[in-house]
Amino acid sequence: MSVVHGFPVLLQAADPNMPPVSGMVFFIFTIIKLVVIFTIYMVGVAMLTLAERKISAWIQDRHGPNRVGKGWLQPAADGLKNFMKEETMPAGVNKPLFVLAPILSFIPALTAWCVIPFGAPMPTRWGRIDMVVADLPIGFLFILAITSLGVYGIVLAGWSSNNKYALLGGLRSSAQMVSYEIAMGMSTIPILLLAGNVSLNSIINQQAWGGWNVVNLTVAFFIFMVAAFAETNRLPFDLPEAETELVAGYHTEYSAMKFSLFFIAEYANMVTASALMATLFFGGWDVPFTARDNIGPFSKWLSLLSIGIFLAKILFFVFVFMWVRWTLPRFRYDQLMSLGWKFMLPLALVYIVLIASVMLGLSAAGIPEGGWYTAILGSINLGVMILLFAILDRGRIISPAYGRMHPREVERLRQLDKQLEKRHPIATEGGR
Amino acid sequence: MEPHYSLIYVFHFYLFGVIALASALTFVTRKSPVTAALWLVNTMFSLAALYVMLDAQFVGVMQVLVYAGAIMVVFLFVVMLLNLGHPSELADARGTGWKLAAGLIGLGLLSEIMVIARTKLPQQLIVPRDFNEQQFQKLNAVGMIAEPLFKDYLLAFELTSVLLLVAITGAVVLGRGRAAGAR
């Protein structure tokens, strides 16, 4: 059963003479890493609000913000405005929870960054510095655990606001995020099967060696991406804050910087989800088409290059997030639930079995990890994708908001409506 | 023969222990279900930190992922859905006798723990000092749990999952039955 344990551990084998830094140096470098990541992250999130508005303007053929410093200083102006605005405290709110909610929605997105490796190790005169804040042996599970807490902020905001629209938004978000979390977790199991470990470093290592997971596990990537959209409450999954139905959903009652913190949290979540997609499916900081970045010898330039590559991958996915937001309309609630439970979860489960049996078959046939392995997995994925998009789905299973319902389903709903009307003529009248 | 731990380790271990106990106490004394639920989440977090400090990283993460991230969210969902947020509806209505009985049972459990903590461990439970590290090198953080679970205790594991399946089916049947009866 050496399906998954066949990789040489590249990073350790590469620099046997360079031990990681320890003691006081480790402590100081960790503080530096924390400060740098936090600064880049916050400035980046601020600039992303500008990017969102510029990209939406570009997609809708408008100009976008172009007044404050030709548009570039718009995030600073927005921030200043939010600090100066009045903080409203509506009547009947649960004050501690009302204040706690924006904080709780922001912290998980930031905490997940602890374990994401963002560059090749950097050699210094004190030893090797790993470009990750905390290299946990259970890194990937840590991310799943921390991101699963993001829902608390939204739920508490909805509940503590003493507002029925906010409450409805909170209810929707908890149902949505718990549902899609399952699909998300299941879609990543094939990655763990391939890597044979749950630490993010070994996942990146495996991709440098055996090809990016987007080729190996295309279907899992699509499930993960859809679930990531749902987890970050971005369109087409922004039902918790659906403006047409719920005013502004869970943050209806928030103003000034508290509202802004929810906004920051949304963008922070987006960046974290993009980093996860880059790490799990696109090789993390791995420089494409080279092996030197994984084998070494490491240098400072290589570290900088790999950090740049990782940033570029993240920005690409952030762009995809924005692109989708300004392209697709919102799901209906029943479509959201049926997509999550009736389509994505079963698909993810079947996919786990498929990948596991293919891996067993390949190891029984004696094919080592590498070119052929990736080619076989990739072609199987291509087959599954064609099956899913061209044959199974005709605007029915993966129905977007504008998709037709199956005629049988429409007929069933009509019958149900008629039956209800017969029994409770007044109740249905009010329910419409 | 106690192994020597650094001061900072001991400090944090007891810190998380105290936080866990204090949050648990706050959890049972709050009247509002949402506040109580949040204190329970805090307790689970501190327990997860303790597990991690005891080299059981996988258990610690699962504690957060399953209990704090899923079960308590569903709990909050139900509280919000039924709009049970107001303390008066859920206030503890039981009499003094029940409270006394509950306190006595609690004391009984505490004394049981004390007795167990004083007895000697059976021989098969005692492992060499660096057992955890060796296992970690040989397998990995998940493999340490997975190997005994899927090799030595496979039957018990599968039976537990069947038990959960029975519980889920039961819940579905109960839910459907009530809905049909109401119509």
Q: Is residue B20 part of a domain?
A: yes
Is B68–A156 a contact, with Cβ atoms under 8 angstroms apart?
Answer: no
Flag whether B150 is in a domain.
no
Asked if the structure places residue B80 within a domain, the reply is yes
Query: How far apart are the CA of A171 and the nearest CA of chain B, in angstroms?
Result: 6
- Residue B125: inside a domain, yes or no? no
Q: Does a structural domain hold residue B168?
A: no
Determine the angle formed by the axes of helices A150-160 and B72-81, rounding to 10 degrees. Answer: 20
- Residue B62 in any domain: the answer is yes
* Cβ–Cβ contact A136 with B under 8 A: yes
Residue among A228, A336, A176, A165 nearest B77 (CA): A176
User: Cβ of A142 under 8 Å from any chain B Cβ?
Assistant: yes
- What separation in angstroms does the CA of A61 have from each of A53, A65, A345? 12, 13, 38
pLDDT digits (tens, 9 = 90+) for A291-336: 655 565 667 777 888 888 889 999 999 999 998 888 887 877 777 8
Check: CB of residue A253 under 8 Å from CB of residue A242. Answer: no
Tokens 């092996």, residue located: A291
Task: Name which of A89-93, A176-180, A284-288 the model is least confident about.
Answer: A284-288
- Do A181 and B69 make contact, defined as CB atoms within 8 angstroms? yes
Q: How many helices (H) and strands (E) does chain B have?
A: 9, 0
Is A148 in CB contact (< 8 Å) with chain B? Answer: yes
Which residues in chain B are contacts of A155 at CB distance < 8 A?
73, 76-77, 80
Interface contact B68, partner A, CB < 8 A? yes
pTM for the complete prediction? 0.82
Query: First and final CA of chain B: distance in angstroms?
Result: 68
The C-alpha of A168 sits at a distance from chain B's nearest C-alpha, in angstroms, of: 9
Amino acid (1-letter code) at residue B176: R
Eight-state DSSP code of residue A404: P
Instruction: Give the model's pLDDT for residue B89.
Output: 52
Q: What DSSP element (H or E) covers A124?
A: strand A119-124
What is the per-residue pLDDT across B47-74, written as a single tens digit (0 to 9) for each? 999 988 887 888 888 888 888 888 888 8
Structural domains in chain B (count): 1
Separation between Cα atoms, residue A24 and residue A383, nearest integer Å = 53
CB A224 within 8 A of CB A163: no
Helix (H) or strand (E) holding A76: helix A74-84
**pLDDT tens figures, B100-148:** 888 899 999 999 989 988 887 777 777 776 776 777 777 777 777 888 8
Considering the domain boundaries, does residue B112 fall inside one? Answer: no
* Minimal Cβ distance to B58: which of A138, A156, A174: A138
- For range A159-175, the mean pLDDT: 83
State whether A159 and B136 contact (CB < 8 Å): no
Q: What is the pLDDT of residue B92?
A: 57
pLDDT tens string A351-363: 999 988 988 888 8
The tokens for B167 are 């519980």
CA distance A263 to A269: 10
User: Is the CB of residue A263 less than 8 Å away from at least one CB of chain B?
Assistant: no
Q: Between these two residues, B123 and A263, which has the higher pLDDT value? A: A263
Yes or no: say if A291 and A208 are a contact pair by the CB < 8 Å rule: yes
pLDDT value of position B1: 43
Q: Does the CB of B141 have a partner CB in chain A at under 8 Å?
A: yes
Q: Using alpha carbons only, how large is chain A's radius of gyration in Å?
A: 24
Q: Per-residue pLDDT tens for A33-77?
A: 889 888 988 888 888 988 888 898 998 888 888 888 787 888 888
What are the structural domain ranges in chain A? 10-401, 405-432
Confidence (pLDDT) at A430: 47
- For residue B35, give the CATH number of its domain: 1.20.120.1200
Measured between CB atoms, which of A151, A159, A197 is closest to B73?
A: A151
Per-residue pLDDT at A396: 54
Q: Name chain A contacts of B34, Cβ cutoff 8 Å.
A: 94, 97, 156, 159-160
B33: domain range?
A: 1-93
**3-class secondary structure, B47:** helix
Residue A170 with chain B: CB contacts under 8 Å:
80
- Please give the mean pLDDT across all residues of chain B: 81
Cβ–Cβ < 8 Å for A207, A284: yes
Dist CA B24 CA B40 (whole Å): 6
Among candidates A318, A296, A247, which has minimal Cα distance to A121?
Answer: A296
User: What is the pLDDT, as a whole number, of residue A292?
Assistant: 57
